Homo-oligomer: A and B are copies of this chain.
């Protein structure tokens, strides 16, 4: 019985890594589509979000089945409940990637992000991709140093988000209302990638160490 349960927990871990990998792909492609005005890539991300949603549903069903059939307690229970939460958060990261891709598609053939801010958004993209890639690695190997570096990239995303507001509100902004709207929304999506990444990372830390971080839920 215990062997079967261990195999199922391992499978659950593998499913989380698969989901994280798909989300990493979506975030990477969405950012490239945004920064290079690549319509086909934007469409790929938008269509691919259905797959991420399906992966989340499968993972959740597996969790509920595990709870029903194995009635786990203590650490095992914590793992299953955490998996439910992490899958919901990663599904949300997939939604955000879709939103970024939708902005890219909506402005095509123009670039959604005006030239003067393309450097800031390229940095945001790089940081978001690092967060997503490290989440996948963290879920694979539970190396807590990785969790720390995710927190750092979240701080960087907050700073870059602030920079984008400074550009919009500093008095020398000459963008159109559409550009202002796009910079505002896309900046927020990137800031949220960081929050969600930290939320998942802290759950992994909690599972490994038993220590609750300052605040697990992404705000």
Contacts and interface: CB of A to CB of B under 8 A. Distances in A.
A219 to B, nearest CB: 5
Contacts of A95: 219
11 contacts: A53-B215, A53-B217, A56-B217, A63-B81, A68-B77, A81-B84, A95-B219, A168-B181, A169-B177, A175-B177, A177-B180
Most central of A67, A78, A175 by chain B CB within 10 Å: A67
A185 interface: yes
A47 B192 CA distance: 22
Contacts of A219: 95
Contacts of A173: 177
Contacts of A7: none
Contacts of A77: 64, 67-68
A133 interface: no
Interface in A59-97: 63-64, 67-68, 71, 73-74, 77-78, 81, 84-85, 88, 91, 95
A148 B173 CA distance: 44
